[in-house]
Amino acid sequence: MSKALVPLAKGFEDIEAVAVIDILRRGGVEVVTAAIGPSLDVESAHGIVMKAETMFGDVADDEYDAIVLPGGGEGTDNLKNSDALIKRLVRQREEEKLLCAICAAPTVLQEAGLLDLSQHVTCYPTCQMDVNCNWVNEPVVSHNGIITGRAPGSATIFALVVLEALEGHTIAHKVARGLVFDF
């Protein structure tokens, strides 16, 4: 069974976090939600309070097959401001394990120094100038161990692509069929 970490910071984009958590769990992935901040209760960009399972500091040293960053303007800024998260993302890359980010969150990967001109990514269109890499105007881009998604409207397909990378084609398509989603 694969294991994924989803860090939640105040202001995270609701649909991006929930779609990833839900779809990965439907596919059998162990998903750990970890709060970046002072409390397990994390308020989303649209005022929904979600209770993380644990504090990031308590699970930062654990091993993960994927780390998945939801976007959201304030949430992304709060992720960028977490030195512990930035260090963990660098370690994830050094271990050649999957990094995933959607919407504004690819800018967190940029902040961590994990993107360069050879990397193909997508992100929210207004964040395009904030990533120093090869930006692609597609809903989801998977390239060189990094999966990126464009926006909240891409959350389901993004989550399915992450699931496919972790658990394979058959599982991802089974989950998509259950969602009545063309994948």
Residue 145: half-sphere exposure toward Cβ, Cα within 13 Å: 15
* Neighbouring-strand partners of residue 32: 5
Q: Is 100 a catalytic residue?
A: no
Q: Is the dihedral of CA 66, 33, 16, 129 positive or negative?
A: negative
CB atoms within 10 A of CB 177: 11
What is the rounded distance in angstroms from the CA atom of residue 10 to the CA atom of residue 32?
17
Catalytic residue among 103, 123, 127, 133: 103
Specify whether the CB–CB gap between 92 and 68 falls below 8 A: no
Dist CA 166 CA 107 (whole Å): 23
CB-CB neighbours of 128 under 10 Å: 16
Residue positions annotated with a catalytic role: 103
